[in-house]
Amino acid sequence: RTARLSAVWEGPGSDLSSISLENKGISLVLRGGVVGPFLTIQEESTRLWLFRKISGVVQKYNAAHA
């Protein structure tokens, strides 16, 4: 069984401040504390994988622009 993940969100990476791993998905937080999109991902392994990928990008960006 193969699942396909698809999400469309357009915005500059500089707008993304942090992410939060939730029970049902991933919450994106934009600069200024603005609540961004919520990515609903039921499967835990997929949720963790995507969280790690996005988190790495956010951390690298924030470190480079601190």
10-21 confidence digits (pLDDT tens): 777 778 888 899
Q: What is the pTM of this model?
A: 0.75
Residue (of 26, 15, 14) closest to 50 by Cα position: 26
7-65 confidence digits (pLDDT tens): 677 777 778 888 899 999 999 988 888 888 899 999 999 999 999 998 888 888 878 98
* Token digits of residue 64: 């480079």
